[in-house]
Amino acid sequence: MPKLSDDQLALAQPLFNYEDVCFGNRTVSNANGLRELVTLHALNHLFKTRDRVLKNNARIAKHSNGTDLDCRDQGFTRPKVLFLLETRNSCVKYVTSITKLCRPEQQENYKRFQDAFVEEEDKYSEDKPPDFRELFDGNDDNDFRLGLKFTRTTLKFYSQFYASDIIFASPLGLRRAINADDPKKTDYDFLSSIELVVVDQADAMLMQNWEHVEHAFEHLNLVPKQSHGCDYSRVRTWYLDQHARYLRQTVVLSAYVTPELNRLQSTSMQNVAGRVKITRAYPGAIAEIGQQIRQTFSRYDSASPVSDPDDRFKYFTSTIVPAIARQVSAGGGGGVDDDALGILVFIPSYLDFVRVRNYFNAAAETQEVTFGAVSEYTEMPEVRRARSHFFTGRHAVLLYTGRAHHFRRYEIRGVKRVIMYSLPDNPAFYTELVDGFLGASLAEGKVDAADAAVRAIFSRWDGLSLERIVGTKRVAKMLKPGVGDTFDFR
């Protein structure tokens, strides 16, 4: 087995003392440092475990005359570390860290790995935001899985899962590995003895199907259905007692914390050493707006998270839509370059987007409002047409989803007002829509400063996303009942 230096071990040893960790302050600038630290921690754990197994193998061979030795040093299966990553390019970065740290003499199947995972061509220009380029540069395919096996001198790529020490997978790729086409062939035994799980770029996974992540955690540390050559005399007692999930360490790295991550922490991060959530105080995205733009935050009443989508829709259709209709009517209802046009309605959730789009199509109140719609599922010709019609004024309103912005970062021109159906989890989206889209219209003289405005609606269940936009110091007051429901900033 490869060895780590004393300096490397000194860095790896105190990593949170095996507490579960949710690190909600991952940025482009600290990503490389976090990646190397977590990789070092994983290798340290893996190599120490393997060294103990090899030493016990030698002890057993030496005392083969019948002396009983209690050498409980293994799990049900070999894989010990699982990396859940969003893209193949992210996998490449972690593999590069591994080879940099342990320096194997040989790398078996490395050419095959390069062909399948490495894409060196820069796909995006510098005008794309840094977080976008970090996520989507290189090979951004999110359907993959890869086994890595260590021997004394060799690092083997594409090893079978049951012969691997580390498993790299995307949530989608892992789910496909678990769920075969034939239900009788469903297999998750290779996850039975995972001792360290690393989830990187969890915020990006939220823009995919988060259920894949939850599905993976539901199948961790279960008793295997088959033995897979297991020597039960060497299995640690906590595996036999089905307590492995209480000794597994989970490290989640994200740019910010969301309700989904909080739920994951409370339900799937159960280490007996405890849990740590690392966040920071936010100055607020509104502080990054470089121009004097009126920003209004309106709070509506919502009794519970379950009723919140209906309460939001009711508030939007009863308060916001009539104001949109009046603005369009006052501007003439659809002439090119009309002053009332240029209303961008940002809708983070696709389900909400469908509901609002259907309302604009069918409601009598919006029959005079011309609108376009851009979602993550809109075909490119339709996207170009909607953006063009919005820019020229043929469409008074453009409905725009959060996932479309996440995956494409379209440049929307002609924005004169921004309405946020709900607040984005990513505070950079707020800055890009307000300072970028609306700010560009101001700079080009397409809208007067007195007319440019932002209207965002929120409820008390939006505290996490609201904090990142208005700042930690302001959020408590804005969520507190009895202090008014409208807040203006410039």
Question: Which H helix or E strand runs over 391?
Answer: helix 380-392
Say yes or no to pLDDT of 130 above 60. Answer: yes
Distance CA 285, CA 137 (A): 25
pLDDT of residue 11: 46
Place of tokens 């959060």: 402
User: Would you tell me how many other CB atoms lie within 10 Å of the CB of residue 480?
Assistant: 11
pLDDT tens figures, 297-321:
999 999 999 999 999 999 999 999 9
Pairing between β-strand 249-253 and β-strand 20-23 as defined by DSSP bridges: parallel
The torsion region of residue 313 among left (phi > 0), alpha (psi -120 to 50) and beta comes to: alpha
pLDDT of residue 1: 47
Residue 17: band (very low, low, confident or very high) from pLDDT cuts 50, 70, 90: low
The helix/strand/coil state of 260 is helix
Distance CA 219, CA 82 (A): 12
Residues 399-426, mean pLDDT to the nearest whole number: 96
Residue 124: band (very low, low, confident or very high) from pLDDT cuts 50, 70, 90: confident
**Class level of CATH domain 6-278:** alpha beta
Distance CA 212, CA 201 (A): 14
Distance CA 440, CA 306 (A): 38
pLDDT of residue 58: 86
Distance CA 417, CA 352 (A): 20
Residue 61: band (very low, low, confident or very high) from pLDDT cuts 50, 70, 90: confident
The helix/strand/coil state of 458 is strand
**Residue 3, both tokens:** 């060895």
pLDDT tens figures, 253-289:
999 999 999 999 999 999 988 999 999 999 999 999 9
Q: Which residues pair with 456 in a beta bridge?
A: 297, 420
**Residue 371, both tokens:** 């609108």
Pairing between β-strand 275-278 and β-strand 20-23 as defined by DSSP bridges: parallel
Q: Which amino acid is at 167?
A: I
Domain at 285-489: CATH architecture? 3-Layer(aba) Sandwich (3.40)
Pairing between β-strand 294-299 and β-strand 453-458 as defined by DSSP bridges: parallel
Highest mean pLDDT range out of 1-15, 181-195, 352-366? 352-366
User: Would you tell me how many other CB atoms lie within 10 Å of the CB of residue 14?
Assistant: 8
Domain ranges of the chain: 6-278, 285-489
- Tell me what the pLDDT averaged over the chain comes to: 91
Is residue 87 within 8 Å of 28, Cβ to Cβ? Answer: no
Place of tokens 């399948």: 116
Instruction: Find the radius of gyration of the CA atoms of the chain.
Output: 26
Of 432, 384, 386, 439, nearest in space to 417 by CA: 439
Kindly report the pTM of this predicted structure.
0.91
Of 327, 359, 343, 319, nearest in space to 433 by CA: 343
pLDDT of residue 330: 77
Q: Which amino acid is at 103?
A: R
Of 119, 131, 164, nearest in space to 145 by CA: 164
Residue 14: band (very low, low, confident or very high) from pLDDT cuts 50, 70, 90: very low
Q: Give percent of the chain above pLDDT 90.
A: 76
Say yes or no to pLDDT of 483 above 70. Answer: no
Rounded alpha-carbon distances, angstroms, from residue 346 to 47, 309, 377: 49, 15, 15
pLDDT of residue 337: 46
pLDDT of residue 5: 61
Distance CA 395, CA 332 (A): 12
Residues 50-63, mean pLDDT to the nearest whole number: 86
Q: Give percent of the chain above pLDDT 70.
A: 93
Say yes or no to pLDDT of 230 above 60. Answer: yes
Residues 79-96, mean pLDDT to the nearest whole number: 97
Degrees (nearest 5) of the Cα angle 174, 131, 278?
Answer: 75
